[in-house]
Amino acid sequence: MKPSEGLEVKIVVASGWCGYVKTIVLNKNQTSKDLRGNTCQRSSVNTVTATDEKAFQKLNTYLLKLNLFDRKIQECSRCSDGVDYMLTINDGTQVIEHSIGFENKETGMAEFIAFMEAL
């Protein structure tokens, strides 16, 4: 991916033993996807495409609505063979890392998790 000024978000979806891994990196201009069948088989499909403007705006809305710039979420569902969403937010001035469990029931989080899955 080409370097971008401004917001860049990396989403890694990881699950327990031999689970699948999905890595998505989005900035205003490009979206990179690395999709692997599972972690025990080292196959992957990599693509880089232009970022969907509506999806990028929706991502920004979630980051602000869930206050993900100002707090830290550190859960570990994959530790018990579940799923975690590792989210790295780089706004050009700071890097914020979150580990959000699949079962997070916080207001608005289920909708955000569904959005990340759809990416």
Q: Is residue 70 part of a domain?
A: yes
Q: What is the pLDDT of residue 39?
A: 65
Q: Is residue 2 part of a domain?
A: no
Beta-carbon contacts of 1 under 8 Å, excluding residues fewer than 6 positions away, are 25, 27, 30, 32, 48
Q: Is residue 71 part of a domain?
A: yes
Q: What is the pLDDT of residue 3?
A: 63
Residue 55 tokens read as 């999806």
Predicted confidence pLDDT, tens digits, the chain (119 residues): 666 678 999 998 877 666 677 889 999 999 999 887 666 766 667 889 999 999 999 999 999 999 999 988 988 766 665 778 899 999 888 999 999 988 888 888 999 999 998 88
Domain membership of residue 49 as a residue range: 8-118
Q: What is the pLDDT of residue 62?
A: 95
Q: Give me the CATH number covering residue 18.
A: 3.30.1560.10
Q: Is residue 98 part of a domain?
A: yes
The answer to whether 17 and 81 have CB atoms below 8 angstroms apart is yes
Q: Is residue 24 part of a domain?
A: yes
Q: Is residue 90 part of a domain?
A: yes
Question: Helices 53-65 & 109-118, crossing angle to 10 degrees?
Answer: 150
Q: What is the pLDDT of residue 1?
A: 63
Number of independent structural domains in the chain: 1
